[in-house]
Structure 1
């Protein structure tokens, strides 16, 4: 187990803001779309799916009625977006959004429910997600008003589960199935909870190794990036292990959020409240640090013409203060950033529905 202080390695070159004056309240789930040379992402706080034209720094948006927590490619066209849950407990599902359509808010094109938002999981919301090489969509959830699920012993630095705050969120996998509708057969997503991961608090980054044999996964309050053996044909997980620990027990700063992987098997992690993006080798050793001009980088994705540009979303929202006050301290909070790297990101797959 590697415990990471992100001051342990030389910093990489400065990142650049590529979103002009645009500032998200809570930017997440960046996705490079080579067909339009744009970066698609969501703003969770404003319930918007956003598309950044990198060449012009222009951002266009589509607002969804029940929130937006992550976005993935769809082989059927457009994007699939995981929605939040509103006051009537409607949500927790995947909807289709297509920027090519004038009225494309996705509200009428539901392709699958992630979890039972009206049942025992009322108050939970969808969070980060990703697509595996077989077109399955993996999406996690977040507990209502989560507190840290793990507490650290001040003397030993070891973490133990906070029994007063039992995790109840989960990781789900949606697989393609066929359903008869008004226009005949339609591909939809059928959800299954992944018991191998166990209950979680704030499900976040999900990514696969270049050979597709390892799934990397983040439950943010644990401070851990975990790794599982992954069977690409069946989607089954096994052999859970801690890949690295971010923040806890070393300098105590920050926690892991979004994750992505490069072709050299390096794992890149956005550190919430840490002013950094960290790069680990395949063994979980910290090899490079990206110093960020914002305290809350949220997620990251490779893209650009050669696939070697790392795009990073960020947050300007703080529940304890106004966005304006955050921006006074961090003028670039909520911006989208880009960093030229020496590696190409792994292939990003599209869902089969």
Structure 2
């Protein structure tokens, strides 16, 4: 079950405090990700090792590209449309905002479903409060933000879809939860139903953070606090475990020209951090990933 796979540290990527949301941009041969508390989105062009960063007025936690290369992003106060310039300039326009039920909230994990709708969840940033007021939202192709689709979440995470788009995955990574759920997913309406436990990490190790699904339909979750990647089959059975040099992996994404490289962002803990914590890693897990869907709506030019 444990696989001896070497994870390469991408030193050219720099180091983040809270690295999250890696997104492979095939057209550019580049990996993008965010550093949440730094209010920063970063790009690394893999072959040239050229690094570009964009800084925002508020924290950005998750994002996706549209077909024109613009960005939809979940930030502190809502959903934004963003135009990125190669000079490092970013222009952001707020498109929609939920009614936050508590203070100190922001968006957290997010990505597009197979039909190009952007999904993202909210959380109270102070995890010590264990406030179950977070919710999952759908931002559709007409730039309309839904009412909460799934509520009662503490630390929303782990969004992913099966290759056929008929199963949606969602996790709550708070230490009191540590659960990955699966839902039946109506691709036509963008409606999840039949919520059930897919993986309970109380039976394994770590907390289920960001995730990705491979071409075999298996679900890879970052086991935060355990320095592990865990791969679950579509039946919810753990079939592979890969150790990482950093203790707090946060999210993974397939990339490279053949989608056989798994990129992993990590978080730098406040205490007892090592040289590896906060870096981005690349590894070859022996399986192929799936292309990340673009947002299917039209974003405004900011």
Same fold (TM > 0.5):
yes
Residues 278-326 of structure 1, C-alpha deviations (whole Å, 9 max, x = no match)? 11111111111110011000000001010111000001142xx4xxx62
Q: Confirm or deny: 8 A CA contact 1:48 1:61 kept in the other structure.
A: yes
Q: Specify the SS of the correspondent of 1:294.
A: coil
Q: Specify the SS of the correspondent of 1:106.
A: strand
Distance change in 2, residues 1:242/1:148 (3 Å): farther
Which residue is equivalent to 2:277?
A: 333
Superposition misfits of 4+ residues, deviation over 3 angstroms: none
Which residue is equivalent to 2:49?
A: 57
How far is 1:199 from its partner?
A: 1.4
Q: Confirm or deny: 8 A CA contact 1:275 1:296 kept in the other structure.
A: yes
How far is 1:83 from its partner?
A: 1.5
How far is 1:245 from its partner?
A: 1.3
Which residue is equivalent to 1:96?
A: 82
Equivalent positions of 1:290-329 (< 5 A) are 290-318=242-270, 321=271, 326=273
How far is 1:347 from its partner?
A: 2.6
Q: Confirm or deny: 8 A CA contact 2:254 2:288 kept in the other structure.
A: yes
Alpha-carbon distance in structure 1 between the residues aligned to 2:33 and 2:179? 24
Q: Confirm or deny: 8 A CA contact 2:117 2:139 kept in the other structure.
A: yes
Q: Does 1:270 align with 2:202?
A: no
Q: Specify the SS of the correspondent of 1:20.
A: helix
Distance change in 2, residues 1:256/1:225 (3 Å): same
Alpha-carbon distance in structure 2 between the residues aligned to 1:14 and 1:307? 17
Q: Does 1:25 align with 2:17?
A: yes
Moved more, 341-350 or 201-210: 341-350
How far is 1:95 from its partner?
A: 2.9
Match of 2:198 among 233, 237, 243: 243
Q: Confirm or deny: 8 A CA contact 1:19 1:58 kept in the other structure.
A: no
Alpha carbon RMSD of aligned pairs, Å?
A: 1.8
Q: Specify the SS of the correspondent of 2:17.
A: coil
Which residue is equivalent to 2:96?
A: 113
Equivalent positions of 1:275-286 (< 5 A) are 275-286=227-238
Equivalent positions of 1:114-153 (< 5 A) are 114-117=97-100, 120-147=101-128, 149=130
Give the TM-score, by structure 1 length. Answer: 0.79
Match of 1:14 among 6, 19, 42: 6
Residues 5-48 of structure 1, C-alpha deviations (whole Å, 9 max, x = no match)? xxxx2233111112337111110000000111010000001000
Higher-Rg member (1/2): 1
Residues 219-243 of structure 1, C-alpha deviations (whole Å, 9 max, x = no match)? 1121111000001110111111111
Count of residue pairs the alignment pairs up = 295
* Structure 2 spans left out of the alignment, 5+ residues: none
Q: Specify the SS of the correspondent of 2:146.
A: strand
Alpha-carbon distance in structure 2 between the residues aligned to 1:148 and 1:274? 22
Q: Specify the SS of the correspondent of 1:35.
A: helix
Match of 1:225 among 163, 166, 180: 180
Match of 1:260 among 209, 212, 226: 212
Alpha-carbon distance in structure 1 between the residues aligned to 2:14 and 2:127? 29
Q: Confirm or deny: 8 A CA contact 2:64 2:294 kept in the other structure.
A: yes
Q: Confirm or deny: 8 A CA contact 1:22 1:335 kept in the other structure.
A: yes
Alpha-carbon distance in structure 1 between the residues aligned to 2:244 and 2:31? 19
Distance change in 2, residues 1:309/1:99 (3 Å): farther
